[in-house]
A and B are shown apart, each in its own frame.
Chain A
Amino acid sequence: MSKTINLVFLFFFLLFLQVFVLNNILFFGYINPYAYVAFVFLYPLKENRIPFLFYSFLLGLFIDFFSDSGGIHAFSLLSIAYIRLFFIKLYFRKVTADYPFFNLKSESFGKVFNYTVTLTIIHHLIYFSFANFSLQNYSTVLLNVLFSSIFTLTLYFLGTYIFMKSE
């Protein structure tokens, strides 16, 4: 029960954090962290993936509502939510029986780092390509992906470090 409440709290915390704080940072005028990808990293791994896919879609859609971007956030967040399992199998070598016990905290930092970096870069690449919506200025898109990914990941690792200490 408390796990469900935690997830609901995480959902709204990430939504409002993104919309009211992070969307207004605009470091150097255009670099923004997209820390709501943490939802995909932190959602527990389960056999049945339908609810997870649906909640990821919903979080992206809510952020789209606020930032007037159609369905771009929903599309990119849902994409990494779907391919998450592939990377978990690739980096952590888990089978179905391990799913209930899987936790990023108990994994080695190197593996977690690879996993989060891959998913974040894929998410940002999809997001910025769709936000640009043409092949014009594509170098700007790639620069944006690079800088925003660094920003997002720094924020994510700092955040997890702080919250892990308090527990």
Chain B
Amino acid sequence: MQQLIFFFQKFKYFLFFLFLQLIALTLTFNNLTFHKSKFVNSANTITGGLYASSSNLSEYMNLKSENILLSKENARLKNILEKNSAVRPVLDSVLIDSIKYHQEYTFTDAKIINNSYTKQFNFITVNKGKNQGIDKEMAVINSKGIIGITDNSSAGYTRVQSILNRNSKINARLKNSNYFGSLGWDGTHYNTAQLSDIPRQAPLKIGDTIETGGKSTIFPEGILIGTISKINKGNTADNEVDITLFNDMSNLGFVYIIKNLDKKEIKTLEINSNE
């Protein structure tokens, strides 16, 4: 017993150091797995509140460019609306408009209050949380394209795993054909992502548009991602293609968070069919 006490006496600093390092390591490893980090993230009340007030101070700088973006998006949406109303319903046949009684997605607007894009594992903090119905695993987009997936939310704030995160995997497809692959990021350039596992027979050209595939319960179909910028010739195992993103991830303002209303139903169905 005395030996043991002497041992602790002698190595108390080292043991204390090891103890704290272990805590730090656990937090680091937890942070790397998707929505595991409940404790250390910027979506809690204190850090979220401080980031919100600091972004309130700096948001005036971007008002002009933000206005231009919004008016462009308005114009695009008005065009879609016009197209829909221009189609006269055929009166002598039964019209089934699935939109009218069945809504699949809801959109919530939010503001980015903290954004990182230079690290290997990047996260974004937005100013909506559980109080506004935001939970984990929801899609985050803006008018130009995809941004990420929500990861962890507190009452008023949510942390988003950016597509610029080495853990990020998103189902994506070619716009002109239905060949799909998965979109990831290798951690080098903040405006280039990688599309892998595209079938070899898929016709790929530089400049082709990539959009979300709709084969997950998170992203709706057809949200823009980017264009092909480099095709690797030769036989690589995963047939990787470089994608230039439409979004400038270093300059983001307002976003939409998409909630899939059928997610629960689809998930239970998938669990049952797996058994």
Residue numbers of A with Cβ under 8 A of B are 20, 26, 29-30, 32, 49-50, 53-54, 57, 60-61, 64-72, 74-75, 78-79, 82, 130-134, 136-137, 140
With A20-B54, A50-B12 as known contacts, state yes or no: A69 contacts B31, CB within 8 Å.
yes
In whole angstroms, what is the CA distance A49 to B11 when docked? 12
- Interface contact B30-A70, CB-CB below 8 Å: yes
- Interface contact B188-A82, CB-CB below 8 Å: no
CB < 8 Å: which of B20, B23, B47 contacts A66?
B47
Identify 16 new A-B residue pairs, CB closer than 8 A, beyond the known A20-B50, A78-B20: A30-B118, A54-B20, A65-B41, A68-B123, A68-B159, A70-B28, A71-B25, A71-B26, A71-B27, A75-B21, A78-B24, A82-B13, A133-B166, A134-B166, A137-B187, A140-B188
**Top 4 closest pairs, chain A to chain B, by CB:** A70-B31, A71-B27, A71-B24, A70-B28
With A65-B41, A65-B47, A131-B119 as known contacts, state yes or no: A70 contacts B12, CB within 8 Å.
no
- Interface contact A68-B42, CB-CB below 8 Å: yes
CB < 8 Å: which of B28, B118, B119, B186 contacts A71?
B28
In whole angstroms, what is the CA distance A68 to B28 when docked? 10
How many B residues are at the interface, by size bracket? 35 or more
23 pairs, A vs B, C-beta closer than 8 Å: A20-B50, A50-B13, A54-B16, A57-B20, A57-B24, A61-B24, A65-B41, A65-B44, A65-B47, A66-B42, A67-B116, A69-B31, A70-B30, A71-B40, A75-B24, A75-B25, A78-B20, A78-B24, A82-B14, A131-B121, A133-B120, A137-B187, A140-B188
In whole angstroms, what is the CA distance A30 to B164 when docked? 14
- Interface contact B17-A78, CB-CB below 8 Å: yes
In whole angstroms, what is the CA distance A68 to B151 when docked? 12
The reply to whether the CB of B6 lies closer than 8 angstroms to some CB of chain A is no
- Interface contact B28-A75, CB-CB below 8 Å: yes
In whole angstroms, what is the CA distance A79 to B14 when docked? 11
CB < 8 Å: which of A32, A53, A71, A140 contacts B23?
A71
- Interface contact B27-A70, CB-CB below 8 Å: yes
- Interface contact A65-B24, CB-CB below 8 Å: no
Residues of B133-156 contacting chain A, CB below 8 A: none
The reply to whether the CB of B261 lies closer than 8 angstroms to some CB of chain A is no
Contacts of A133 in B (CB 8 A): 32, 120-121, 166
Contacts of B40 in A (CB 8 A): 61, 64-65, 70-71
In whole angstroms, what is the CA distance A69 to B54 when docked? 20
- Interface contact A65-B31, CB-CB below 8 Å: no
In whole angstroms, what is the CA distance A72 to B16 when docked? 18
Contacts of A67 in B (CB 8 A): 42, 116
- Interface contact B120-A131, CB-CB below 8 Å: yes
Proximity string of chain B (33-44) to chain A, C-beta cutoff 8 Å, 1 when within and 0 when not: 000010011101
Contacts of B32 in A (CB 8 A): 70, 133
The reply to whether the CB of B101 lies closer than 8 angstroms to some CB of chain A is no
In whole angstroms, what is the CA distance A140 to B21 when docked? 25
The reply to whether the CB of B7 lies closer than 8 angstroms to some CB of chain A is no
Contacts of B41 in A (CB 8 A): 65, 68
Tell me the nearest residue of chain B to A54, going by C-beta.
B20
In whole angstroms, what is the CA distance A32 to B28 when docked? 21
With A70-B27, A70-B30, A130-B28 as known contacts, state yes or no: A82 contacts B17, CB within 8 Å.
yes
Contacts of A74 in B (CB 8 A): 20, 23-24, 27
Tell me the nearest residue of chain B to A64, going by C-beta.
B40
- Interface contact B37-A70, CB-CB below 8 Å: yes
Contacts of A53 in B (CB 8 A): 13, 16-17, 20
CB of B211 to closest CB in A, whole Å: 28
CB of A109 to closest CB in B, whole Å: 30
CB of A132 to closest CB in B, whole Å: 5
CB < 8 Å: which of B12, B30, B116, B120 contacts A132?
B120
In whole angstroms, what is the CA distance A69 to B21 when docked? 15
CB of B232 to closest CB in A, whole Å: 17
Tell me the nearest residue of chain B to A52, going by C-beta.
B13
